[in-house]
Amino acid sequence: MVSFFRRKPSDAAVREGLSQVFPRVWRYALSLTGSRPEADDLAQAACLRAMERADQFQPDSHLDRWVFRIAHNLWVTEVRHRQVRSGNGLVGIETAEIVDPTQDSDVRQERRELLQAVLHLPEVQRQAVVLVYVEGYSYRDAAMILDVPVGTLMSRLAAARAVLAQKFRTEKGGRNAR
């Protein structure tokens, strides 16, 4: 039986914490899906799944990591397949679609270009970068969320760092040249 409505301590912990976790999970979902509507759906589905499985949550553990893992698993097992099947899975992510360009100052423009660089990374590298460098998870926690060995996570981060560092140097050079 789905335990969504049962009153248990783990249920309360999930209910109380979900609204705070949601914006972060949504942002991760956006980095995975590349579109706001898809991110809405994925983050929403992750919350729904978390509520349905609230009795599996350990109240003394970290809700955010648990919900991130749920979102990641949903993406891997369900949403990504549907996107690919529907022809949307290989579309390049453009920040113009997800960030309002009319608000751009120079600084924001630079941030946007870096954001673009992250979003253009291969998916597995993008996941690692967002979890570790944006969300601030430790290597161990990020590896747990992604369900990969820490060594695999480190390889993905190293590959991503080489690309992003190049982008950072370009950005810095561009600013200095202005």
The b/e string for 68-81 (b: 16+ C-beta within 10 A; e otherwise) is: bbbbbbbbeeebbe
CA distance 16 to 44: 16
Q: Interaction with another protein in 123-162: which residues (CB under 8 A)? A: 129-130, 132-134, 136, 138-139, 150-151, 154-155, 157-159, 161-162
Exposed e or buried b per residue across 83-110, where buried means at least 16 C-beta atoms within 10 angstroms of its C-beta: beeeeeeeeebebeebeeeeeeeeeeeb
Per-residue contact track with another protein, 33 to 52, x per CB under 8 A? ---xx-xxxxxxx-xx--x-
Q: Which residue has the tokens 């990591």?
A: 65
The residue count for binding another protein (CB under 8 A) is 64
Q: Which positions touch another protein (CB under 8 A)?
A: 1-7, 11-12, 15-16, 18-19, 22-23, 26-27, 30-31, 36-37, 39-45, 47-48, 51, 78-79, 82, 98-99, 108, 110-112, 114-115, 118, 129-130, 132-134, 136, 138-139, 150-151, 154-155, 157-159, 161-162, 164-166, 168
